[in-house]
Amino acid sequence: MDWKSRRITTLLEAALLEDKAANDITTALTVDPSLRATATIVAKQPCMVAGIGCISAFLSLFGKMKPAGRFEVVSHPEIFDGVRVKKGQAIAVIRANAASILSTERVILNLMQRMSGIATLTSEYVQAVAKAKSKTKILDTRKTIPGLRALDKYAVCCGGGLNHRLDLQDGILIKNNHIALGGGLPLVLEHALAGRKAGQIVQVEVRTPAELEQAIAGHAESILLDNMTPKEVAKALKLIRAKLPKAKVEASGNMSLKTVPAYAKTGVDFISVGALTHSATAVDLSMKITADLQ
């Protein structure tokens, strides 16, 4: 099991422990422990699906906490993470011990609703860029719910977006506070370029024409244009392309579905959108459970 898988397993275990799923007193007092049931997860609104794999993972982990017998999760071959579904469409069917379904119902729905919400919102941004006839790619940020980052960023990919840094070790991004505390942009950029490991790209966030000039003079390999207007971004991009033709250029700062097309039309390589993960609305999913005939 790789580190990403371990991180997700730990996250799912924490969700079950938080909900005391193995000590579900209501189910223990009201449902025959030997009863088998079938549960269908249904989309109550059009959405982009994400998180189907978490269903089996939750049930498997629950079975280690409290023996629950065999289970099966099936879905139509055309339904998988990253697919858009209609209102009323079945996403997955669970066949398992009734008690195990009831005890894991909420954690399964909570996670899938959040992940599908992120995927759905991301797809709207991707479509907005496509309608602008631009090749600009949509990026996420580190503005994720603590502990959920791996799944939040996976959901972004399901929606057609790309991941920026996974964590602070994953890439070098010099931001305004690094510049303020490190002695100014030229100095911190020089230190980063000199101390980075082989293959690491040094990205610099700039907010003013003066900072842009300094980043270009210091040979930044990637430049993030923060909180600039589309007109300012277009002007900055023209300068960067002339002097650092190989540098990747990213725009960021309070992006919305209304504003992102204008930024995409400037020709930047990337647009990072914090709202993908910090403001996505959970989609409405439900679980319909019926007892299996004995």
Please check whether residues 136 and 243 belong to one and the same domain.
Answer: yes
- All residue ranges of the chain with pLDDT < 50 are none
pLDDT for residue 68: 74
Please check whether residues 135 and 241 belong to one and the same domain.
Answer: yes
Please check whether residues 131 and 95 belong to one and the same domain.
Answer: no
* Beta-sheet pairing, 137-139 with 172-174: unpaired
Please check whether residues 171 and 252 belong to one and the same domain.
Answer: yes
User: What's the CATH number where 135 sits?
Assistant: 3.20.20.70
Please check whether residues 254 and 113 belong to one and the same domain.
Answer: no
CB-neighbour burial class of residue 163 (10 A; exposed 0-12, middle 13-18, buried 19+): middle
- From 106, 235, 248, 265, active-site residue: 106
Q: Respond yes or no: is residue 149 known to be catalytic.
A: no
Boundaries of domain holding 161: 126-278
pTM of the model: 0.95
Please check whether residues 111 and 147 belong to one and the same domain.
Answer: no
- From 84, 137, 175, 265, active-site residue: 175
Please check whether residues 138 and 228 belong to one and the same domain.
Answer: yes
- From 66, 84, 137, 143, active-site residue: 143
Please check whether residues 169 and 115 belong to one and the same domain.
Answer: no
Report the b/e string of 48-80 with b at 16+ CB within 10 A: bbbbbebbebbbebbbeebebeebebebeeebe
User: What's the CATH number where 26 sits?
Assistant: 3.90.1170.20
pLDDT for residue 111: 97
Please check whether residues 262 and 140 belong to one and the same domain.
Answer: yes
Please check whether residues 158 and 214 belong to one and the same domain.
Answer: yes
Q: Respond yes or no: is residue 153 known to be catalytic.
A: no
Q: Respond yes or no: is residue 226 known to be catalytic.
A: yes
Please check whether residues 137 and 267 belong to one and the same domain.
Answer: yes
Q: Respond yes or no: is residue 66 known to be catalytic.
A: no
pLDDT for residue 6: 84
pLDDT for residue 70: 86
Longest dimension (CA), the chain: 76
Q: How do residues 190-217 score in pLDDT, each as one tens digit? A: 999 999 999 999 999 999 999 999 999 9
Instruction: Tell me the torsion sign for CA atoms 11, 17, 22, 28.
Output: negative
- From 140, 152, 205, 250, active-site residue: 205
> Based on the structure, what is the number of domains in the chain?
2
List the alpha helices (DSSP H) in 133-229: 149-158, 176-181, 185-195, 209-217
Please check whether residues 95 and 183 belong to one and the same domain.
Answer: no
Q: Respond yes or no: is residue 32 known to be catalytic.
A: no
- From 81, 105, 140, 226, active-site residue: 226
CB-based contact 47:283 (threshold 8 Å): yes
Q: 287 by DSSP, 3-state: which?
A: strand
pLDDT for residue 2: 67
